[in-house]
Amino acid sequence: FIFQLDIYCHHLSIMTTSSTSSSTSRKTNRRQRPGQGLSIYLATACIIMSSTNCNKQAQAGRPLTPSIPDNEDIDYSHPEYIEWEDGPTSAEEFDHDNNPEICGLEYLTVEEWEAGKYWEKDKPVLVKNVTAGWKALNNWKKQEMLLRYPDAEATMGEARLVGETGPDEAGKNLQPTTVKEFITKHMYNPLKYFFDRKISIPKGMLEDCHPFPMPTRAYLENPNASEKYAPSKKKKVRSTPDRELWRDHLAISIGSDLQGLTFHHHREAWNVVLFGSKRWILWDHARWNGHNEMQWRLTRDWANDAHVTGAEWIRRLYPEPDREREIREFGHDCIQRKGDMMFVPHRWMHMVVNIGDTVSVISEVGLEKGEGKKPEDFEYDPNEESSDDSEDWSEDGPPPGWYEGRGPPPGWNEYDSEDGPLAGWSEDDSEDGPPPGWSEDDS
């Protein structure tokens, strides 16, 4: 009880500081959370227990995200949550009705998505009823997934840290796991999130998601569609490099309430929710490209040099007038529900927060067939300085709080201008060589 109260005190000090520093006349769409009436009582207990501990981190300038120990003695199994729908949900706090003034995205049918080839356009869209006919609606129910695919291998880690580097480069911030181990032992641990782009998916799991949305389905139907005859080689060769193809491999995301990757960007991608819901914050690439300080100030708690969780960003930072106005004018704040597909264009900054237990699949340009990870993939420190950490900043210079030895700023994938390499997660790993604009000095 004392430990939980200490965490509450920490949250309370954050909310109090935020509310006093922001405008009292600002409009808000958040509803009051159940149990909020206990605030005065618990605040008093907080003061009695230790008034100085509540603000110690803020005064020291350290990250304000609560430091919850990854204690192996804590039981995170929660067998009482039999199906995905049984887990805790923050819908009362984080859900909203996709008011056009807040979300502002087109809501398409599958037929409209395909006829308009929206995957070739530079704007996000939501597509409804994408999972119609998918076997996964039954086979990926919680208990069914445990029976059918218990040994499917993947990785897990703290979503906040994985969001900084991308899952392909997270190194020791990730741990190997299986579907069964994660769901039955770790899923409700706030420091464990199942997100893997290189998962070795059993064939049956992929088939459960047929028919794939376009354009991923086109590759499945004809992988050689881009091949053309090359007279010099006297054979057909692929005219489109692998890193530019929507191939038939999917990434999988499984996480409990409030989990989700923090701000990042990558190549074009679609994300389909099978169970649960997600809240998305998206920010137009054309707005922030080349403006490192603008990126830093919007996506991070720059005043405290902290990289916070998505839930904390929405709770504490988003209500600040400048951030809220920026997303309203140059971004989107949307809810994706079961059966919906979110399309994210190339290099649009985005973050996601789960509302309830959430399962989704992702297809991304250049995503290779999963073969699992090797032991050495978990050994290196992604934040450790190396001899090739030459930063290629724009004219604005490095963002506030930068100092040598800390590595590139989280979430930017090292390059923020069009002159550098593509800003995805390891898109240059294919046999076709590095992406356009890459030079030997950058490798």
Select from 31, 7, 35 the least CA-distant residue to 91: 31
Local structure of residue 385 (DSSP, 8 states): -
Strands 125-127 and 107-108: parallel
Furthest CA-CA distance within the chain: 82
The pTM of the full predicted model, rounded to 2 decimals, is 0.71
E strands in 5-117: 107-108
Alpha-carbon dihedral sign for residues 123, 349, 292, 385: negative
**CA distance to 105, 269, 313, 377, 428, per residue, from 280 (Å):** 11, 14, 12, 29, 27
Beta bridge pairs of residue 342: 126, 271
User: Where does residue 266 rank: exposed (0-12), middle (13-18), buried (19+ CB within 10 A)?
Assistant: buried
Please tell me the predicted confidence (pLDDT) of residue 223: 64
| 3-state secondary structure (DSSP) of residue 136 | helix
The Cα angle at residue 430 between residues 427 and 436, in degrees rounded to 5: 55
Give the amino acid at 416: D
Residue 277 half-sphere exposure, CB side, CA atoms within 13 Å? 18
Token pair 């047929």: residue: 210
Please tell me the predicted confidence (pLDDT) of residue 71: 65
For 298, the token pair is: 């919007």
- CB neighbours (10 Å) of residue 140? 24
Say whether the peptide bond before residue 211 is cis (omega within 30 degrees of 0). yes
Please tell me the predicted confidence (pLDDT) of residue 29: 41
CA dihedral 245, 247, 253, 259 (to 10 degrees): 10
Round the CA-based radius of gyration of the chain to a whole number and report it.
22
Each residue of 165-219: pLDDT tens digit?
777 777 788 888 999 999 999 999 999 999 876 666 777 898 999 999 999 988 7
User: Which residue positions in the chain have pLDDT lower than 70?
Assistant: 1-72, 197-200, 222-243, 368-373, 376, 378, 385-443
